[in-house]
A and B are shown apart, each in its own frame.
Chain A
């Protein structure tokens, strides 16, 4: 079931005009910001399907930038997100695409700064709900509904067991987990949706584990 809570239906509280094209877009932007872990300096946003056709009318562009500035769906500052981005020195570009994608409301967000860059694909499935379908070329499914952690690691035996053991130690239950890798022995990614909040202490311990490159937390 994609929609789990009654508040997926009666909610979110948000700045108009569209739950999928404004609130959902803001959420996609915000997850990208969370995953990047800091304010990006630049953003290239590719829009597909209905997003590409109607983004101006729905303020999808303003909302995604708002999300990249860490604003929630009901944050009044969404309306002036372009100005705020300029103040922070973040450049941005919107590229409407004509290619076919599986879902009509799809955005690919490429963000970065002088240190690194990141690419993420998100879809807005209705009523403000989103899913993250790809990260840096890794296909994944992330509902954004539960706290989740993303672990970038080397494809070595024991990595997954170590992470699971660490979560177990802190009594954190795994609700959904996916592992993918580019090639055998190469970079791999764990996506773990959990039922409890993962605090700084746990994050720190995960980062200390062998063969772990990066650990990112996404709050619900």
Chain B
């Protein structure tokens, strides 16, 4: 299959050589591979953007999951911000609350757009709708944010993994946070190389993160990991825009993530058998939710 890039180095080189945005390279590649028109592709991405917007709005009004483990934290965060005393700053907390909002909707079996997965669906929209208030992007720039995220995610998915069952949470929220960080750079007017630096810095700080969902539900700790993924993304973007670079190149960080995932025992790869899921409280919550009865099995 002919593709315009197979790794981040090729992606950045092509963008810089042709004087194009990373989002543009992603759009061109999509046209090439799927034989669809630019208009068609842009429209589909805008529909995804709309789904994300609606999920954030719904979450900010307050939702609760069936299990009762998650819900309502996005509302708490927004109320807290309105008091004006936040320590980490409004943009950061806004990103965190909107990431949480999305994942609370996901946990409540609401409609979301996987980015790159459902369990990590909060990070990209959370950061997007927070950064939006500061950078005032056009609708097209918001759509491009998703293509830039997608370009980096495409590399990770093909060269490593975006599945928690295969590579742990680092592969899901880690990838999502790094993708968001790269997209923030483009929206803020940074270079493709800076996107790559931000991506590397973010992912480096999510390496080793295990997938250990309590009761096997995409709730604890998934929702809060999306919150921290969003904050990681924003801070790493600021670092890259300040000129900080990653000593380990982006593609090598992705390879390291893959290797760590391969070496991870299955207890830490979405089996709900290790980590937080195996704590006394994690176990207690599991028995409280599912009890002795069989929930959800039919006949």
Chain A residues in 8 Å Cβ range of B121 = 16, 19
Query: Given A6-B26, A20-B117, are A13 and B112 neighbors across the interface (CB < 8 Å)?
Result: yes
Query: Given A23-B118, A94-B297, A125-B163, are A17 and B269 neighbors across the interface (CB < 8 Å)?
Result: no
Complex contact A10–B115 (CB within 8 A): yes
**Segment with Cβ contacts to A, from B9-17, B103-111, B239-247:** B103-111
Chain A residues in 8 Å Cβ range of B298 = 61, 65, 82, 85-86, 92-94
Query: Given A49-B165, A127-B163, are A1 and B3 neighbors across the interface (CB < 8 Å)?
Result: yes
Complex contact A54–B33 (CB within 8 A): no
Complex contact B162–A127 (CB within 8 A): yes
- CB < 8 Å neighbour of A92 from B108, B113, B119, B299: B299
Q: Does B153 contact A (CB under 8 A)?
A: yes
For window 115-166 of B, CB contacts with A under 8 Å fall at 115-119, 121, 124, 146-147, 149-151, 153-154, 157-158, 161-166
Complex contact B114–A19 (CB within 8 A): yes
Q: Does A9 contact B (CB under 8 A)?
A: yes
Complex contact A104–B30 (CB within 8 A): no
- CB < 8 Å neighbour of B48 from A10, A54, A58, A128: A10
Q: Does B85 contact A (CB under 8 A)?
A: no
Complex contact A19–B119 (CB within 8 A): yes
Complex contact B158–A6 (CB within 8 A): no
Complex contact A16–B35 (CB within 8 A): no
For window 50-108 of A, CB contacts with B under 8 Å fall at 50, 53-59, 61-62, 65, 74, 76, 79, 82, 85-86, 91-94, 104-105
Complex contact A16–B105 (CB within 8 A): yes
Query: Given A3-B154, A10-B146, A65-B298, are A79 and B109 neighbors across the interface (CB < 8 Å)?
Result: yes
Query: Given A15-B111, A17-B119, A19-B118, are A6 and B106 neighbors across the interface (CB < 8 Å)?
Result: no
Complex contact B109–A10 (CB within 8 A): no
Complex contact B215–A16 (CB within 8 A): no
Query: Hey, what's the 0/1 contact readout for B67-79 against A, CB within 8 Å counting as 1?
Result: 0000000000000
Complex contact A105–B157 (CB within 8 A): no
CA distance A11 to B113 in the complex (A): 5
CA distance A76 to B110 in the complex (A): 9
**Segment with Cβ contacts to A, from B93-101, B189-197, B216-224:** B216-224
Q: Does A126 contact B (CB under 8 A)?
A: yes
Complex contact B163–A126 (CB within 8 A): yes
Give B11 Cβ to nearest chain A Cβ, in Å. Answer: 12
CA distance A76 to B218 in the complex (A): 19
Complex contact B296–A62 (CB within 8 A): yes
Complex contact B112–A56 (CB within 8 A): no
Complex contact B270–A54 (CB within 8 A): yes
Q: Does B83 contact A (CB under 8 A)?
A: no
Complex contact B153–A56 (CB within 8 A): no
Give A83 Cβ to nearest chain B Cβ, in Å. Answer: 9
Complex contact A17–B113 (CB within 8 A): no
Query: Given A3-B157, A104-B270, are A15 and B114 neighbors across the interface (CB < 8 Å)?
Result: no
Give A136 Cβ to nearest chain B Cβ, in Å. Answer: 25
Give B261 Cβ to nearest chain A Cβ, in Å. Answer: 11
Complex contact B157–A2 (CB within 8 A): yes
For window 16-38 of A, CB contacts with B under 8 Å fall at 16-23
Chain B residues in 8 Å Cβ range of A54 = 213, 216, 270-272
Query: Hey, what's the 0/1 contact readout for B212-242 against A, CB within 8 Å counting as 1?
Result: 0101111100000000000000000000000
CA distance A145 to B203 in the complex (A): 28
Complex contact B111–A13 (CB within 8 A): yes
Which residue, of A7, A9, A126, has the highest number of chain B Cβ atoms within 10 A?
A9
Q: Does B44 contact A (CB under 8 A)?
A: yes
Listed in ascending order, the chain A residues whose CB lies under 8 Å from chain B are: 1-23, 49-50, 53-59, 61-62, 65, 74, 76, 79, 82, 85-86, 91-94, 104-105, 125-128, 195
Task: Supply 15 A–B pairs (Cβ within 8 Å), ascending by A.
Answer: A4-B1, A7-B45, A15-B109, A16-B107, A16-B110, A16-B112, A16-B121, A17-B106, A18-B117, A20-B270, A53-B270, A54-B216, A79-B109, A104-B166, A127-B117
For the complex of A and B, the 5 pairs showing the least CB-CB separation, nearest first, are: A54-B216, A126-B163, A57-B216, A16-B106, A9-B153
